[in-house]
């Protein structure tokens, strides 16, 4: 593959100051794309410098600010070819709830269902926690897609990649708000593709399994061991592995992929 296959393309990636988004930025830049690196904080600046791109610091839940950054990208660079809606936050880790879930799993194996405890992850969820999770993932993806489409529809060309999660396909207990947001992103992506495919615009969703990024930093060794129990390959993905999939979806190699959902889970169950 020619290393300059994305030469002349302009990509805007949200939440790219860290983890997966930063890996996507490096991968697309390596193939010649000009990358605008968004993040809510100044972490975007270092990645932008590294990939020889531009930094766009704003909160993806701030519709006006994100739209302005995307419009500004088109004003400065003349186009936006690739929009990756990636910014995200993790469901907070609750060690006590994790221990209760482990104890419940043991009781379930022994058939002692009546002794299993309530986890309280939904009944104890605050309005603010629900709101932040849905706003960051679902509203952020909508705001980014809408702003990019306003330019892509005129250009009759464009690629959108939305970062969902395996938990949007296989929801887990304890993270209902995260799973709901990620599942909604899948439906939103399919709907987007149905609406704009005839304009030469493609929209696809990626559902990573567990990836070794700062997002998982709050999980301790015991929790990580619990997570790996459910991964057939017995290890987390690297961000670079997911970047290869995203690179595929951002290039001509995936020309017939539209409205499609790409899990990369390492055989997660």
Q: Annotated catalytic residue: which of 139, 178, 256, 268?
A: 178
Distance CA 25, CA 49 (A): 11
Residue the block writes with tokens 């221990």: 99
Choice between 88 and 259, CB closer to ligand NAD: 88
Distance CA 101, CA 173 (A): 9
Determine contact, residues 145/195, Cβ cutoff 8 Å.
Answer: no
Active site residue 139: no
> Which residues have CB under 8 Å from 96's CB, separation 6+?
none
How many Cβ atoms sit within 10 Å of the Cβ of residue 146? 14
CB of 10 to ligand NAD, least distance (A): 19
CB of 25 to ligand NAD, least distance (A): 11
> Which residues have CB under 8 Å from 43's CB, separation 6+?
17, 18
> Which residues have CB under 8 Å from 206's CB, separation 6+?
161, 162, 163, 164, 242, 245, 246, 249, 261, 262, 263, 264
CA distances from 108 to 102, 103, 127, 216 (A): 10, 9, 31, 27
Determine contact, residues 146/160, Cβ cutoff 8 Å.
Answer: no
Contact residues for ligand NAD, defined by CB under 6 A? 14-15, 17-21, 39-41, 43, 59-61, 86-89, 136, 140, 163, 165, 208, 210-211, 213-216
Q: Which of 99, 88, 103, 120 has the alpha carbon at shortest distance from 216?
A: 88
Angle at 22 between CA 240 and CA 171, to 5 degrees: 70
Rounded to 5 degrees, φ, ψ at 37 are: -100, 110
Q: Which residues are catalytic?
A: 178
């Amino acid at each position: 593959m020619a290393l300059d296959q994305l030469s002349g393309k302009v990509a805007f990636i949200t939440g790219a100051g860290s983890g997966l988004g930063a890996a996507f930025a490096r991968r697309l830049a390596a193939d010649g794309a000009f990358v605008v690196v968004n993040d809510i904080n100044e972490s975007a600046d270092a990645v932008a410098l590294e990939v020889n791109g531009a930094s766009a610091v704003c909160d993806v839940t701030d519709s006006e600010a994100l739209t302005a950054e995307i419009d500004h990208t088109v004003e400065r660079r003349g186009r936006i070819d690739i929009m990756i809606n990636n910014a995200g936050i993790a469901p907070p880790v609750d060690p006590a709830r994790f221990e209760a879930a482990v104890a419940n799993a043991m009781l379930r194996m022994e058939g002692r269902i009546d002794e299993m405890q309530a986890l309280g992850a939904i009944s104890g969820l605050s309005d603010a926690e629900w709101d932040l999770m849905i706003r960051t993932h679902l509203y952020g993806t909508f705001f980014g897609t809408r702003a990019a489409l306003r330019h892509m529809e005129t250009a009759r060309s464009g690629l959108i990649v939305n970062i969902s999660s395996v938990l949007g396909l296989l929801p887990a207990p304890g993270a209902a708000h995260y799973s709901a947001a990620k599942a909604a992103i899948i439906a939103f992506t399919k709907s987007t593709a149905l609406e704009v495919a005839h304009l030469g615009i493609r929209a696809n969703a990626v559902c990573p399994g567990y990836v070794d990024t700062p997002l998982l930093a709050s999980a301790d060794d015991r929790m990580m061991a619990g997570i790996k129990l459910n991964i057939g390959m017995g290890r987390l993905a690297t961000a670079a592995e997911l970047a290869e999939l995203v690179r595929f979806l951002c290039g001509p190699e995936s020309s017939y992929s539209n409205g499609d959902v790409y899990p990369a889970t390492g055989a997660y169950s």
